[in-house]
């Protein structure tokens, strides 16, 4: 009888060990998390800002006991905002770096492709991506891979509707669109078109630019022919700056509006005085005052005046969402338990910024507010 009990005990331990080994990236003392974002090229400033914020927050978590005694380790790989590199990085993070989960990806097309071909089929959850694309917000029943994508920010449809409503309320009807020729730009164009349709309007002109390019000449020509009152720009900061400069050079001065991925601080730096008056929709709280608790926590974490940014505060909120999910998943951690914990985060207050998930809900937030660049490059709301 004693021998039988010992065999059962040994078998139970062995079974537990095998079950534990089923999810890589966890040890008794660490949890490995993976990130793919641009740290080089035209959009490198975005990824560097995000990575630094997340690393600093993880260091703070580790110093205060970690997650149920485990320290967080971040493995961050540069993808240059290119889809093929994002896919390769994701395979590396899961297969070679043994990431338990992923966070803070960048871009619509790269993340959508990674969701449908790599981390979704591998059943590895990803929390947060700098993208508001509809393709990342599909029903989990319509696309089983969407079950593993937990968005943190509002959608491009939310942002473009706020922008269009503001323009129409000012009496503007001649509204053109300048967009990036990729998943980000096309999703934004669809959002503007849908929002205008609610007011019985259509884009008066459309121009496009290729990803990672600043050749905006082909976009300026059709848009200037429409002589628009406003242009909604669904582009990142370098092509946005090139387009604004090009329009002003030929005497076109419509109201310029753009979406949050543009990178507010980078756009101001790139345009200088020409940035004044540009409107930007934001999907994270204003990072330069301490009224909102999560912003106050973010500022205290950085402890370096002048380093606050919208990309930084969004990365901070993304990292907090991941940490909250890991804590709720408990000490006996697994990917499925993290999934269940995240799905249970319904209307969770992270400090003035609420996250909403559910068994079939991956939207995260619909927070949007409009800002404008004022004198001296100061962002006003």
**Which two three-digit tokens encode residue 163?**
């922008």
pLDDT at 13: 41
Cβ-Cβ contacts under 8 Å for 201 (sequence gap 6 or more): 168, 173, 175
Domain 9-154+291-364 has CATH 3.30.390.30: no
- With 50 as the cut, is the pLDDT of residue 277 above it? yes
CATH 3.40.50.2300 domain position(s) in the chain = 9-154+291-364, 156-282
Q: How far apart are CA 175 and CA 206, in angstroms?
A: 9
From residue 55, alpha-carbon distances to 61, 119, 207, 228 in Å are 10, 22, 38, 44
Angle made by CA atoms 231, 237, 242, in degrees to the nearest 5 = 65
Can you tell me the mean pLDDT for 97-114? 96
Q: Structure pTM? A: 0.89
Cβ-Cβ contacts under 8 Å for 362 (sequence gap 6 or more): 137, 140, 146, 147, 149, 150, 151
For 177, the enclosing helix (H) or strand (E) is strand 175-180
Cβ-Cβ contacts under 8 Å for 132 (sequence gap 6 or more): 108, 153, 154, 155, 156, 157, 158, 159, 187, 188, 259, 260, 261, 283
- With 70 as the cut, is the pLDDT of residue 315 above it? yes
Can you tell me the mean pLDDT for 187-205? 97
- With 80 as the cut, is the pLDDT of residue 15 above it? no
- With 50 as the cut, is the pLDDT of residue 8 above it? no
pLDDT at 297: 96
- DSSP, residue by residue, 149-160: EE--SPPHHHHH
3-state secondary structure of 199: coil
- With 70 as the cut, is the pLDDT of residue 269 above it? yes
Task: For residue 283, give the nearest of 157, 166, 100, 184 by alpha carbon.
Answer: 157
- With 80 as the cut, is the pLDDT of residue 12 above it? no
Bridge partners of residue 257, in order along the sequence: 232, 279
pLDDT at 307: 81
% of the chain surpassing 70 pLDDT: 93
- With 60 as the cut, is the pLDDT of residue 11 above it? no
**What confidence category does residue 21 fall into, taking pLDDT thresholds of 50, 70 and 90?**
very low
pLDDT at 4: 44
Instruction: Identify which has the larger pLDDT, 15 or 150.
Output: 150
Q: How far apart are CA 303 and CA 180, in angstroms?
A: 36
Number of H helices, E strands in the chain: 12, 15
Instruction: Identify which has the larger pLDDT, 17 or 321.
Output: 321
pLDDT tens readout for residues 157-170: 999 999 999 999 99
pLDDT tens readout for residues 209-248: 998 899 999 999 999 999 999 999 999 999 999 999 999 9
Can you tell me the mean pLDDT for 102-122? 95
Gap between the terminal Cα atoms of the chain: 75
Bridge partners of residue 239, in order along the sequence: none
pLDDT at 324: 98
Angle made by CA atoms 224, 380, 202, in degrees to the nearest 5 = 35
**Which two three-digit tokens encode residue 324?**
């909250």
% of the chain surpassing 90 pLDDT: 85
Average pLDDT, the chain: 92
CATH architecture classification, 156-282:
3-Layer(aba) Sandwich (3.40)
């Amino acid at each position: 009888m004693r021998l039988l009990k010992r065999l059962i005990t040994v078998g139970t331990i062995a079974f537990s060990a095998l079950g534990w080994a089923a999810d890589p990236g966890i040890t008794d003392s660490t949890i490995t998390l993976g990130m793919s974002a641009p740290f080089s090229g035209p959009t490198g400033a975005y990824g560097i800002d995000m990575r630094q914020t997340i690393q600093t927050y993880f260091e703070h978590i580790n110093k205060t006991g970690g997650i149920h005694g485990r320290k967080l380790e971040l493995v961050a790989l540069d993808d240059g905002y290119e889809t093929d590199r994002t896919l390769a990085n994701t395979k590396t993070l899961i297969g070679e770096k043994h990431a338990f989960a992923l966070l803070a990806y960048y871009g619509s097309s790269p993340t959508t492709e990674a969701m449908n071909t790599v981390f979704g089929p591998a059943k590895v959850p990803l929390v947060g991506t700098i993208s508001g694309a509809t393709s990342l917000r599909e029903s989990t029943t319509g696309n089983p891979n969407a079950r593993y994508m937990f968005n943190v920010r509002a959608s491009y449809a939310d942002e473009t509707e706020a922008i269009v409503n503001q323009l129409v309320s000012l009496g503007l009807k001649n509204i053109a669109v300048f967009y990036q020729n990729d998943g980000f730009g096309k999703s934004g164009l669809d959002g503007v078109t849908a929002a205008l349709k609610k007011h019985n309007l259509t884009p008066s002109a459309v121009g496009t630019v290729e990803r990672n390019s600043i050749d905006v000449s082909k976009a300026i020509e059709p848009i200037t022919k429409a002589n628009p009152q406003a242009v909604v720009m669904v582009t990142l900061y370098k092509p946005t700056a090139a387009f604004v400069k090009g329009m002003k050079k030929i005497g076109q001065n419509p109201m310029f509006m753009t979406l949050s991925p543009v990178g507010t601080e980078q756009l101001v730096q790139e345009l200088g005085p020409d940035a004044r008056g540009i409107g930007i929709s934001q999907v994270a709280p204003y990072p330069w005052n301490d009224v909102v608790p999560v912003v106050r926590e973010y500022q205290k974490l950085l402890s370096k005046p002048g380093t606050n940014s919208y990309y930084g505060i969004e990365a901070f909120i993304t990292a907090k969402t991941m940490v909250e999910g890991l804590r709720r998943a408990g000490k006996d951690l697994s990917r499925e338990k993290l999934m269940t914990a995240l799905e249970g985060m319904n209307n969770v207050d992270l400090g003035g910024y609420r996250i909403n998930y559910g068994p079939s809900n991956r939207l995260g937030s619909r927070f949007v507010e409009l800002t404008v660049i004022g004198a001296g490059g100061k962002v006003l709301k």
